Structures are given as structure tokens and as C-alpha cells.
A and B are shown apart, each in its own frame.
Chain A
Amino acid sequence: MALFQPLPDAVSTLVHDGDTVALEGFTHLIPFAAGHEIIRQGRSNLTLIRMTPDLVYDQMIGSGCARKLVFSWGGNPGVGSLHRLRDAVEHGWPNPIEIEEHSHSGMAHAYSAGAAGMPSAFFRGYLGTELPAVNPSIRFLDCPFTGQRLACVPAHHPDVAIIHAQRADREGNVLLEGIVGVQKEAVLSAKRSLVTVEEVVDDLAVTSPNAVVLPSWTIAAIAVVPGGAHPSYAHGYYSRDNSFYVAWDDIAKDRETFAVWMRQHVLEQGPDIFGERARLCT
């Protein structure tokens, strides 16, 4: 059964130095508050898995949390580069980072295999690309029935999956809806999971056709953090802060500007600040 905990307690219990951690949310519902809490608690040597590293991993990588990144698209959507990720890969700052690079399809299949208790996933992918030459985790096998060449990737089995969801009920069942990404797969592939939610309600009131409901017993801890996905968004609560995604380009370009921003907006703050930030996006 999920334990309701303040975010700092949940992160401190569930996320350890050296863990493999997946913070998921495909553009929507990105768990920024949890990412910031990990940074504040100074976690290091993490292997970070995420399809689209987005600003949250740019911030964690720039803060020195990561040893390795497993990903498929590392840009600032519609804006350009993730400068902290680039600085780590191109110049080893603040520390060198190992990368394991996939396609979106490969990443989604790897989570799904993890959730299904499979050692690996196979699918029709990676045809003609040079990615297998730089990523030994991408291999090929022949279909035993047709001989067709299939790509094979190892399953993701993160130590911890962290997601943000719209709401939980009092028993700790969790609902997310809108663009649901790979969060169900991420949670079910992980040894432990942490969910931040906008609110706790008596009744989940499942009405939307594509709602994902995760039963309480698939979740280790729930932390109530209104606005916890900002500057990403929570469908039905607040919208994506596109202007902040644009502004991040200048903030992250320069190491010093980045450090000042992180001190002011992350290190010297707590999870409570997110509610106020998200309110400006409603």
C-alpha cells in the first residue's frame, strides 16, 4: 500500500546514491518537484533513464546528480539544446557523463518489457541507423517463424520510477489522464515507485476515456505537491509554461547563470513553491 509522505521524506527513503532512476512524463506531467528534491538532497552517481531528458534532467545533470543518462531525445522541445546536458557530454562539466542512446520506440519497448517481466523487448526498429554501432544494448535477432530481422533491447528495470499524476484517492490509488506517455510502464517496470499528485480526493471519478489508474499496491509513496509538474503541466489543472521553456535557453547556456538560478529557485526553495508557480499558468 502506498504511504502518504512529505516529498523530502519520500525522496530520502526511496532514492539512494548510485540508483537507477526513471522520472517519466512525456512532455505532460513531468515530475519537476521530485527532481528538485533529489537535487536538494545532493543525490549523486545516479543512472537517469528518461525518453526526453527535458529541463528536469538538464537541471539534475548540471547539478552533478548523474553518472549516466539513458535516453532517446535530448533537446528543449521547440526551442533547441539542453545546454547542461551538452556541457556534460561535450566538456565533462560538472562531471563526465556516460550516455546510452536509443530511439523513442526502443525506450518505450524497454519499459514495456520491464513491466511485463521480460528480460528484453523485440520489435521492428533501428533499421539502417548507426545507433547500434555506438550502443551495444541494441542488438538483432531473427524471428523464429519468419526469419525477419528484429531489434532487441534489454528491459528497463529502474530501482525507482517517479511520476506526477493528477490525483490520488485516500487509499492511495492514483489517476493520470491526458497525454499518458509511458508512466504506467515506468512504474510497473520499477522496484519502487514514487508519485507526486496535485490533490487527494475521496473518489477518483474516472471519466476520461484514456485515464490510467495505478492501484495503491503498485506504489511505494505518494507526496501531495500541487503544481509539482511546473513548467510542464497537469491536464485539467494548469497549462504548460511554454514561455519558461523558451527562457530556460538563456538561463542554462551559461554555467554561472545556471548556478545562480538553481540556488535561487531550487536549493533555497521547497516543494511548496510549485503551487504558486503553477497558479500563474492557469
Chain B
Amino acid sequence: MNYTATEMMTISAARALCNSDVCFVGIGLPSVACNLARRTHAPGLTLVYESGTIAAKPSVLPLSIGDGELCETALTTVPVLEMFRYWLQGGRITVGFLSGAQVDRYGNLNSTVIGDYRKPKVRLPGAGGATEIATYCGRIFMIMRHHPRAMVEKLDFLTTLGHGPTGRERRQFGVMTAGPVLLVTDLCMMQPDPETNEFMVTSLHPGVSRDQVRENTGWEVRFAGEVEETEPPTEKELQALRDLHASTERAHCGRAVTA
């Protein structure tokens, strides 16, 4: 079966989640990957959304983190303060799945501004839950499209801590969790060098060259000693992903726009 680079990205991100994970899900690409994992190899994966819905089992992708179906299918729904205080800060979440407008080589994220903070060229949505998700989930997975403007040498603003500006600041800030351990893009998979915490390419998606990755990365990208080739999507994975998108499309856009 033919597949797109975006499908490869989503499927390889989904594979990183396992049945026993309790995952704090961001909207957009992370939500697609998490819901795909539940439909394929990890039916027991627990999805937690910041709206307070714990163990949500949506039949289609929610458009927002607070769609009604998340609450209807959840094991329980808690107030937002409790979600951040007991469940996240209390250390109950094993993995957080994040994305952002910019990431640097140490997995720090910017979702605040492009340009100067006081006179931004582009005002982005801001931190939301990410700042605390990144410091209190056991591990962080990141998913982003590979582009030199997204994978940058220097962030315009550090919204969310990865391994810190020089890769070594997590402990200094009193953060005891592992931080970003995986960055999945539409070209490759990257993992931090155990010595320096710099993200390096550990697996290239089928048909992607090293030069392609270099051209699309804003810093001088490094490759692991042994770079693997990502397993192409199976027919089952692709079908599950396409079904998910098709049913989502029907659910959200079937109705005429009102008001």
C-alpha cells in the first residue's frame, strides 16, 4: 500500500506507546497518534486530556481537548485544577505527547511567539498545559513536521523545558523526570544522545536520505552510529489510521455551518 510521509510519522509515533502507558494527550498530531495506538497494538492505553477526562475512549478524533465524547466515554472526569494538581503534578502520568511551532536540538519547545515577545511577528497560542506536562510526565514524546523553520538552532522563546538550553539544565531546575526521549517527524525518528542530550537521527523513514534530513533541520544535525530504517506502515496500521480520519471527518463536518 502507498502511504504519505504524514502517515508514516503518525504511525511511527503511535508505535512508541504501549498498553500500560497513561498518556497526557495534546490536541493535533499527538491526539491522532495516541488514538491510533489504542486502535492497533495498545488497546489498553489510558488517554488523559487536560479537560479532566481520564481514560477517554473517543470513537473519532476530538477537535478540542474538551469535546463531549471525551467526557461521555471517560472512566471519570475531574475538575481542571485536580487534573493538573493530583494527576499531573502528583506524578501519575507515564508519558506526555507534545508538539510545538519550534523545537531545538535539546528538545526545548516554543509555542509562544515567533519574533520578539513584545513585538511578535506571529503570536502563537502559548503554553497551555505543556510547561507542566513536560516536567511532570515520566517521559515526553514529541511529534513535528520536519522543516528548517520548525527545527531551529535557537528558539525565539523557550515555552516548555526539554533538556534545557545546553542540554543539561533539567536537574538544575529541580526536575526529576526523564524529559524528551523521542522526536518523531515525517522524515525520521530522533533520540537524545545519552551523553549530551542532543537529539540525533536514530531511524530514517523508508526512502528518506540523510541529505533530506540535513536540509530540513535548522541545526547541524547528527546521526547515530547505526541508523535504522523505520518499518514501513503495515496494511492494518494504515487502514486503522484512514478509518479514524474518515469517521472524524464525517463526525465534525457533516453538519452545515450554523450561525
Q: Which residue from B27, B88, B135 sits with its C-beta under 8 Å from A127?
A: B135
Contact with A along B122-151 (1 / 0, CB 8 A): 111111111110011000000000000000
Q: Which residues of B contact A28 (CB under 8 A)?
A: 51, 66, 68, 71
How many angstroms from the CA of A279 to the CA of B131 in the assembled complex? 38
What range describes how many residues of A lie at the interface?
Answer: 35 or more
The listed residue (A73, A78, A182, A281) touching B63 by CB distance below 8 A is A78
Interface string of B224-259 (1 = CB under 8 A from A): 000000000000000000000000000111111111
CB-based nearest A residue for B164: A128
Taking the closest CB of chain A, its distance from the CB of B102, in whole angstroms, is 13
Q: Which of A51, A129, A134, A244 has the most CB of B within 10 A?
A: A129
Interchain CB contact (< 8 A) of A101 among B28, B76, B126: B126
For residue A265, which residue of chain B has the nearest CB? B259
Q: Which one of B67, B78, B123 lies within 8 Å of A210 (CB-CB)? A: B78
Q: Which residues of the other chain, A, contact B135 by a CB distance below 8 angstroms?
A: 124-125, 127-128
Give every chain A residue within 8 A of B254 (Cβ-Cβ): 243
CB distance from B159 to the nearest CB of A (A): 6
Mark out the residues of chain B between 94 and 145 whose CB falls within 8 Å of any chain A CB in the assembled complex. 112, 117, 120-132, 135-136
B257 contacts A244, CB within 8 Å? yes
Q: Given the complex, which residues of B lie within 8 Å of A77, measured CB to CB? A: 27, 63-66
Interchain CB contact (< 8 A) of A104 among B84, B164, B251, B259: B84
- When C-beta atoms are compared, the residue in chain A nearest to B130 turns out to be A103
Does B160 reach chain A (CB closer than 8 Å)? Answer: yes
Q: How far is the CB of A245 from chain B (nearest CB, A)?
A: 6
A52 and B127 alpha carbons, distance in the complex (Å): 11
Tell me if A202 is interfacial: C-beta within 8 Å of chain B. no
Please measure, in the bound complex, the distance between the C-alpha atom of A180 and the C-alpha atom of B63, giving whole angstroms: 18
Contacts of B215 in A (CB 8 A): none
Contacts A90-B120, A210-B76 given; indicate if A105 touches B255 (C-beta within 8 A): no
Contact status B68-A233, CB under 8 Å? yes
Q: A72-B128, A231-B259 are in contact. Are A240 and B123 (CB under 8 A)?
A: no
* Residue B77 is within 8 A (CB to CB) of chain A in the complex: yes
Residues of B within 8 A of A134 (CB): 117
Question: Of all chain A residues, which has the CB nearest B84?
Answer: A105
Residue among B28, B63, B157 making CB contact with A242, cutoff 8 Å: B63
Please give, as numbers and ranges, the residues of chain B lying within 8 Å of A178 by CB-CB distance.
68, 71, 77
Q: A27-B65, A210-B77, A243-B252 are in contact. Are A127 and B127 (CB under 8 A)?
A: no
**Residue among B27, B28, B51 with max Cβ neighbours from chain A (10 Å):** B51
A74 contacts the other chain (Cβ, under 8 Å)?
A: yes
* A61-80 vs B, Cβ < 8 Å mask (1 yes, 0 no): 00000000001111101110
| A127 CA / B131 CA spacing, docked (Å) | 8
Q: List the 10 closest A-B pairs by CB distance, nearest first.
A: A27-B66, A128-B161, A75-B125, A73-B128, A77-B64, A78-B63, A105-B84, A103-B131, A108-B81, A242-B252
| A positions within 8 Å CB-CB of B | 26-28, 51-52, 71-75, 77-79, 81-82, 85-86, 89-90, 101-105, 108-109, 111-112, 123-131, 134, 148-149, 178-182, 184-185, 209-210, 212, 230-231, 233, 235, 239-247, 265, 277, 280-281
> Which chain B residues have a beta carbon within 8 Å of chain A's beta carbons?
27-28, 50-53, 62-68, 70-71, 76-81, 84-85, 88-89, 112, 117, 120-132, 135-136, 157-161, 164, 169-170, 173-175, 251-259
Could you list 26 A-B pairs, sorted by A, with CB under 8 Å?
A: A27-B64, A73-B126, A73-B128, A78-B28, A78-B63, A104-B127, A105-B88, A108-B80, A124-B135, A125-B131, A127-B131, A128-B169, A129-B160, A149-B174, A179-B68, A179-B71, A185-B79, A185-B81, A210-B79, A240-B64, A241-B255, A242-B63, A242-B67, A242-B251, A244-B259, A247-B257
